[in-house]
Every structure is written in structure tokens, then in C-alpha cells.
Structure 1
């Protein structure tokens, strides 16, 4: 078993939603954590979800959908998925279960559809067969606006209490200016019904000032999405460029600023904009400089880890401060601290909470899927 002591980060910058950036203190824990492998045969795992009985489903970027009976051991392939566009960052991506999965066994998957000239994130749904070997009656319920790049797909999925489905969509990298235009889906979070139709209370449902499916805009590449059913609150983590990764509280019709405002710069160090805030554009709850490339997002609702209940957790995949799991210390809906876990160990693509209350992480490459176990400090 690998024992990893949480590493206290240096001074952390954060910004309260709607206000200027403030310094956020480092959070600390008085116990250690261990990573216990549960699935070692996983190649580029991207999204994962536990069934109510403890079985596990996960997507592989190139390998499609996999099933693990009992949530631990060797995975088996699940057939029935359409062919994905697999290039660059494209492939089989986000996954979630229908809120009524126990009665209808419906699974929703985001994947990249199209070709080099025109591709985008699409969402399908299908029934998981009784023996979990296939998705049946698969149908496409959403396809975003096409672009000609193989980068920035977003592709996280979250259901709300009212049965609507949030889908995060990247801006295709070179189409960053489109993030400010609510009449397209580049750099957006969209909200649809479970059948793909558009909710009548979406902020642009009338189509006059924006695309009816658009819920929020001004995003770069949202790869972490979590809906808290207790407070009816949607949170997201998104990649900045070089620096400027963000955690945001998402509200309908809100502009999150990219690329008009950012705490990051271009990868070559050149300036995107000198502005970090502007009227009518939301500020992040916290942001990362240098980047961690946040991916996956979950709120802990169990008592497995002392003092962590109610905190948010996101993976880190890249950058000078990446290769980690970050605990975002939450109090009364605000960020009060951050703590780096497993710093420098693994690039983490996704993090979820299992039915047993433990956190589980999927690595970005070939390391597999792990359970996060609390252990007494030595």
C-alpha cells in the first residue's frame, strides 16, 4: 500500500464569486491517505461512475466503455457504443447514470463525434443490459456545434434535481473568442432534458439572444462538473491557459469571462489580456497559478475522512503544480483553503465518491483506478 502524506502548498490565490481575488490560506489535515489500486487494467480512463450496487462503469478515451463487477478487479468491455472520433483529446469521455437508473438502467455518455474537418461533443443514452455486457437502444440526444480541432471538448455530465442534464463543452482551443458568444456552444455549459429537448426555463430558451441550450458561457474547457442536490448548486473546474485554472459556482445566463478576463497567459508567455475582472463577468471561487489542469470534481458527503465532509475534490493532470488531488476546503458555500494530496505522484483525470463513501480516482494515463484510504499518521 502506498502511503502519501498531504503536502502543504505555498500561498494560494483565490477569488470569491463576484468579487476580487483574495489570498486563501493553506488547508491541512491531521491524517495521511493511501492509494489502493482497484482496477489496474485501464488505458486512459476518462470518466467513471458507480452503480448503486457497487459495480463500476468507466470510459477509456480510446477503448470505449468498461464494466467492473463489484467495483474491483479486471474490467470487461461493454458493446453498443457508436464509433468515436479519436484524435488529440477526442474520444470517449464523460459518463453519468440516469437518476432512475435502478428502474430504467439508463447510462449517458459524452464522446467526440465527427472527423478532422468537423467534430464536436455528442451525448448518447442507452440501457445497460442486465448482464452489463452491452448498451441497448442507444440514441443520440445532443451534438454540439462542430469545429475542426481535436482539443477542448469539456464533456462532463451532471443531472439536476429537476431531471435536467448539464453538459460541459470546451471551446476547441482556437475558437476561444466564441466563448463570449452565447449563440454557439463553444466554451459553454448547456442544459437539456433527458430526451435532448430544451428546458423552457433556460436563460436563452426563446433563442433571441443566445442558443436555447446554453446555460452559461465564457468558459474555456470545463473538465470538472458537480451538482450538489442538497443546495441545488452547480460547481465546475476548468482549465486556464498557462495559469488561471478556475473553480466556479455556475448560475444561469452568467458570463465567466474567457478570454476577456483571465488569471493566466498564453503557453508561450504572451499576454492574452491584462484584465482579471470586468463588470458583468463572474469571478472564480478560487484559481490556480501555476496551473494544475483540473479534471473531475466531487463533493464529499460521507464521514469516511475526518473533517472533509462537504469539501470539494478535483484532480490535477499537468502543469508545475499538477499531478495531484486537491481538497478544496468549503465552509458555508465559500472556499476557505486548499490542500494538495499525492502531489507529484499521478496525473488524475477523474474523482468520484463510491457507494461506500470512499473517494476513487482515475489516472490520466495507464496507472489505473484507485481507492483513497485514510490511515493513521506514522
Structure 2
């Protein structure tokens, strides 16, 4: 009868076997368990599966609808590189940069050149004030027309890395114009002007990159915005300093504000959350009801031949004892003596015990069973 059932199982269609494996045989009914207990196990494990599926759908919907949000924090200014200062005018001019250590540098503008050709990179110390003396010399101006007699001289500030990317590596004119005029300020002539600036760093995620959605992006794109405020104080005597102005550069504060785009849900975070939730449910199930199956076989074990190797090992160790149990042995008809029959039964018993120890039950359970049996014999 059992052989007929085995033959029927072998001839089932693969799809039917798969459905039965995952929907019927997933919670095998043990002989020592009552029916209601088996029903409770069946309902519990399917609640785990359905809950995991619902959680997966919830995470996917949040992942699709999520827009990266900003996290804001402040860090010390010393960790940020100094900005790039540039000067531009409609005509030729000289910019003399006087520093507190009595050193100076001069920027000479030339007609026909773009302003980016004579940008001056200046390292700024947050605790130091830098003075920029702007001198418009008529003898260097085109047609002897001072700069301030027309459009004037402008100062603008850039982040150093942005300056390298846009100007030194060939940025577009649109980016150049937008960046230039957003931080350009007219320097009034014959005045002492004060520029105060602070930095805001923006780290944006590229929504089109798969790595950002996967959760393995190394760094988001980073750009810095320099906010400046200029004020003019203490005008000079125009008769003495006709084409002269002074700029004082200050940090507005020694901290920088950083805005970073982050994603709460990525593909890896979804897999991690899903695996954690499913593992928790199965752990509760195992704690309450034990393992779902004594020896379940997974797809990878089938593919890599784990089950086949087990069959080979079992045949090597237990082939001489098969069948391990006879349903109705007729030893007398076979002419087997009682001593041979007892020897065969002992060998089969040892084989069964070895099989239980290695593949089915924990050795500790067998030892406990042996000890309890011995104690019962001693009390008799």
C-alpha cells in the first residue's frame, strides 16, 4: 500500500508537487499531535507568510512613492575649504590684495579676457580679516576711462570645487552665468565695504541612478552655496581717493549648514526589513511549535545534489540493513534460525539508532530517553 502511494507521488505533475509542498506539506502532522494542534500550527505559519507578503507590498509602495527628504546639521567651518574670490569689470583695472602679514598680490585685468581668466584663489582664515584694496589706475584703463566711471567693479564668490568643475573643466555658459550673478556684488568706489559670508552645503541624490535606489551609492552629488552680504561704510574723501575702494572679508559665523538628501527606503533596506520580519515570525513559530519540518529540503539543496549525496551516504551505511523494519517477517519459512533472527534484529536496531542520531533527532534527546528508561527500570 505504501509503495503504491509512493508511486503516485512520483507521477504527480511538478506544479502539483510544488503547490503541495508549499501549501499542504509545509506543516507536517506528527502522530503525537492532536488535530486541533496541527490546525493551530497551520494557521500560525500562514499568518507569518501572509504578514510577510503584506509587509513587502507596504514597503514597495513606500519605496515607489518616496521622495528623498533633507536632513540638516551644522559642523565647524574649519573642515570646509576656502572660497574663490573673483573680480570683474567692464574695463581694465588692478586689484591689490593686502594681507595682514604685509604681503600683497595684484590682479591685472586685460581687455578682451573673460573674468574667469583672472580669478584669484584666496585662502581665508576664519579668525582673520582680509583687506582687498581695489585700485583703478587710469593709465592701465582702456582709452583712459576709469572702470568706476562706467559700470564699476564687481566681486563674486565661488566654492573652490564648484569653480574647478565649472570653469577649469569647461562648464556650460548657462551654469556660469547663473552661478556668477547669484553671488556678484558691486563694489562702490571711494568706500570701505564689508563682505560677510557663510556657507551652505547641499548633497543631492541622483534619482535616475540605480545605485541610489539600491542603497549602495558611495556619495551624493555635492555643491556649496556661499551666501554673502555686503555693506558700505565710512566713505573716503573723493578728492584724495578718486579711484580707490577697500573690501574687508569676514566670516559671518564659524559654522556651516549642511543639507543632505537621504532615502529611508532602498532596495537593500526593504530586503533587510523583510528578512528581519520573516525571521522573527519563524522564530516565534519555532519557539512555540518547534521546526516546521524535521528535515526540509530547499531548492538550492536539490540543485547542488545535497539530497542525492545524502541518499548515497545512507545507502553506504545502511544498505545491509534494508529494510530496517519488516512488516510481517516469516523467518521460519525462510529457514532462518532464532540466533540469526535475533542478530538481524539487533543490527537493524543499531542502524535505526544511528540514523536517528545523525539525521533526525538530537543526540541529547536520545540520551535523555535512555536515562529515563534506565531510571524506570531501577525503580521496578
Higher helix share: 2
Q: TM-score normalised by the shorter chain: which range applies?
A: under 0.3
Larger Rg: 2
Higher strand share: 1
TM-score, length-scaled by structure 1: 0.20
